[in-house]
Amino acid sequence: MRKFFGFILIALSFNSCDDGDIIVDTFDFDDVALDHCGGPETYVFFKINTGVNESISLRINTTEDIFFENEETVLEDYTLDIPLNGTTNFVNYRLYDDAISGNYFCNSVPPTSPNVVENYLASSGVATLISGLDYDDNDGIPTVESSDPMMEGTGDLDGDGIPNFYDSDDDGDNIPTVIEIGSDPKNPINSDDDKIPDYLDNDDDNDGVLTRNESKDGNLDPRDDFSNGGAIPDYLNPNVKEKVINDAYIEHTYNFVNNIRIVLTRLVLKNGDVEIIRETLNLGIEENASSGNVSVTPDFN
């Protein structure tokens, strides 16, 4: 699963002007969480330092669906570069005369209070959005750093193009993994006692007929096929060996969490004749910026 590493923001301190006005107090957002509001076309990402009543925010307009809303296909990480133009896409650094909250940025009409004491606008530079996706099949088996196809890692036991760690049917037998594991992921079901648990075994009763091919009613689900009034389904009955070729997979569903990192480059913040220039500024990472479920039917190989 993909994770972002930590980041460092350099705290700045400017001296007072000759007339005693403070230009910039701290510009320190190192320990402040990145948040957002808006969408689907206009987004505002912001950080608020409540200790000194300052904020930094990024407003962007894009037709890109950066949060994968209503997706029904396999999702991929992405990197999106957005030029700052001072109108639809810009960065603000502000100082206030009192505390603000996230509602300051999330209201369609910004509140009139508190007052903005200092306002710096960046009308040039580039905002880079880096999406890092975490996936989970919610089967209760912990993900491991391994490409072994028999482990819950990046291996792909059934060759369906979905790694085991977010494959909801690891062995491709058209019975969901969570069903084949049973109630205790540490002691998963092993119907034929062959040392391979059912969720990794494509022939659960060891009768020589693949579990997938013991569904005879056309719905691809072996769990509802019983022969001769049997008490257990055919795929768990080694005495039933009737085979029907099923060359299709059931629909798979997995969960995703989208973590977004924002990096600002060639940033020039201006307030009158005063400029704050940063060649690179890591604005931070918003963990769990969005989440949801994806349903996809893998191609049969």
Pick the most confident of 9-18, 104-113, 156-165, 288-297: 156-165
Q: Residue 165: phi, psi to the nearest 5?
A: -70, -15
- pLDDT of 115: 92
The answer to whether the beta carbons of residues 59 and 42 sit under 8 Å apart is yes
Query: What does DSSP say about strands 116-122 and 90-96: parallel, antiparallel, or unpaired?
Result: antiparallel
Q: Measured between alpha carbons, how far is 149 from 144 in angstroms, rounded to an integer?
A: 11
Q: Residue 247: phi, psi to the nearest 5?
A: -105, 50
Q: What is the DSSP letter of 31?
A: T
* Range 4-30 burial, b when 16+ CB lie within 10 A, else e: eeeeebeeeeeeeeeeeeeebbebbbe
Q: What is the DSSP letter of 297?
A: -
Q: Is residue 111 scored above 80 in pLDDT?
A: no
Read off the pLDDT band of 229 (50, 70, 90): confident
* Per-residue pLDDT tens over the stretch 193-211: 999 999 999 999 999 999 9
Task: Tell me the three state secondary structure of residue 261.
Answer: strand
Q: Which of 125, 114, 130, 129 is nearest to 92 (CA)?
A: 125
The DSSP H or E segment spanning 103 is helix 103-106
**DSSP state letters, 193-257:** -SSS-GGG-SSTT-SSS-GGGG--SSSS-GGG--STT-SS-GGG-TT---------PPPEEEEEE
Q: Is residue 60 scored above 90 in pLDDT?
A: yes
- pLDDT of 286: 95
CA angle 243, 246, 249 (to 5 degrees): 140
Name the least confident of 1-15, 49-63, 239-253.
1-15
- pLDDT of 106: 85
* Per-residue pLDDT tens over the stretch 139-194: 999 999 999 999 999 999 999 999 999 999 999 999 999 999 999 999 999 999 99
- pLDDT of 233: 97
- Token code pair at residue 112: 């009139």
Q: Residue 217: phi, psi to the nearest 5?
A: -95, 5
- pLDDT of 16: 36
Q: Which residue has the tokens 């076309």?
A: 41
- pLDDT of 274: 87
Read off the pLDDT band of 67 (50, 70, 90): confident
Q: Measured between alpha carbons, how far is 105 from 224 in angstroms, rounded to an integer?
A: 54
Read off the pLDDT band of 122 (50, 70, 90): very high
Please report, as a single letter, which amino acid is at residue 68. Answer: F
Q: Is residue 71 scored above 80 in pLDDT?
A: no
